[in-house]
Structure 1
Amino acid sequence: MKNKGNDAARPTSKEREGIIVKALSGYYYVVDDELDTTIQCRARGIFKKRGQSPLVGDRVVYEETENGEGAVNGILPRTSELVRPPVANADLAVLVFSVIRPELNLQLLDKFLVHIEHAGLDALIVLTKLDAAERSDDAGRIGRDIDDAVALYEGIGYPVLAVSARQGTGLEELRGLLADHVSVFAGQSGVGKSSLLNALVPGLAMETNEISEKLGRGKHTTRHVELVELPSGGFVADTPGFSQLDFQELGIDEIGSCFREFRELAQGCKFRGCTHTHEPGCAVLAELEAGGIAESRYRHYKEFMNEWKDKPRRY
């Protein structure tokens, strides 16, 4: 997360404030704070000179121009900034993972959690397609996997909610958890993010695609980041599906500190800067040996450490 106090003058008599809900093809779509309208804006050239770009979620100062459009004059201070997806001022990450087609991928979930912990956001894990899992020939095994995942991540401190967009299961609880937040929906393609948003926001009708039986994954139905206003209050950013997160790109240097259950334990390690892989007197390794850390979480941590070390540093 980058906390930025962007230098933006307070609005003049011609200027108004609003929030960018969509950025597409060089245009920024700003919802005015007071008027029930969305203004299509361009950004002033000053941003390019400063090396800045307005982001979806930015609170901005804008003014209407003669052609009926608008111009973004300034960006108000950000509380957070995500690199991928590029969203400003989000305070909650909703990590959407399906339990079938595609199968629940805990390694990818842990990679997303590293990203979110590094950004300083709260996280909510949402498991989708309960109805499809119940109809599956492998329903028993999938049910056990769901129970195990809920126990694991709730034990670490992450809330987990299992839902079905088609049946409406869990949606009322989800609406309550999203109210008054700027949330980011993130997850790989085909997990049902757009279907979930369609169920949460009546009349939204976002494009969805069936999962490819051959590839086991979905097509990218969301091609840009966009904030959707929720009837219960707050905004949700639906983001393009993706399955790769690059630790170097995200600027993450201390992967261990992004594993919640490692953070407190690390204070008891014998050596400062302990990597929790081989050092004597490592509190994390001792807890792993005692069964207090899930083997899957530690295995993924080592995989991420190797991935981080194997990639060339970027300067």
Structure 2
Amino acid sequence: MSRFGATILAPLGPVLSEDEARFFAEARPFGFILFARNLETAEQIRALCDDLRAAVGWHAPIFIDQEGGRVQRLRPPLATEFLPPLDEVMQAGPNAARAMELRYRLIAAELLALGIDGNCAPMLDVARSQTHAFLRNRCYGESLSQVVEMGKAATKGMVDGGVLPVMKHLPGHGLAQLDSHKDLPRIDAPRAELEEVDFAAFRPFADLPLAMTAHLVFEGLNTKPATIDPAMITLIRENIGFQGLLMTDDISMEALTGSIGERSAASIAAGCDLVLHCNGKMPEMEQAVREAGWMTEAAQTRAEAALRTRTVPAEIDIAALRAEREALLAGHR
């Protein structure tokens, strides 16, 4: 298999331009990611996915953030409107795990029908009372055991549905009191709590094929954001045990400083396999591609292993699964 560029990139709009097609053909990103600005109609989305894959010459994975709730790029009539995950878990009560599995099995079916085969979930950050509002109700629970149970259910739904899961945000965003899209969260918590809760939430998922880093600092453990800190990438690999393909969170987020090129180079130097760039701005993508370069041999091996986990899902009765899920939620209201 040809060497991949160490990036995941995004088109600017709903139609791939000639300049973008040429650029992607040269950059050979590992994959792409889509946002609301790229999504208009089902036919248009399928055509865009086809054009992105044609540009790179192979069936590249195409990702999206479709958690449900506030963070879901596809909305009705293109996809089902879901409650925020934490709200649904609380509403479903003892039925929550099955409801979560069905939620993500339905999401997977909707994504795959549009040509999208990767979802940036499960989100394994453990919510606390002080968790920033941008994150809190996106979480699956307020305890380690609940997050692990719901995470396993969500993962099963996606894997059964033929969609690659990307767990996030390693090594744990649950204690953040700032939005890393705008500021750098600094977490002051005892190492023991991080080990027993935040880091522990990811260990049962260490065999997943893909994961995403967090842009944050743990006071006493690192001085730079985890995404660009070699010590934190080592912690992800050795302490948490994740050996799959590791991408950054969006490299353009304001928790990071310096140019896009500097951020990209720093994340690869720290040990990330892929730079995720999301806003579709060509000058920034050019910097990211130039500084991220081509995948290392180890990253390429992890990428090929991740791609081998893509499955063809069994046929399902979508109406029956919707009805089952609604009955589970209604039964505990």
Give the TM-score, by structure 1 length.
0.31
For the pair shown, the structure with the greater C-alpha radius of gyration is 1
**Structure whose residues are more often strand by fraction:** 1
Higher relative contact order (CA 8 A, sep 6+): 2
Give the TM-score, by structure 2 length.
0.30
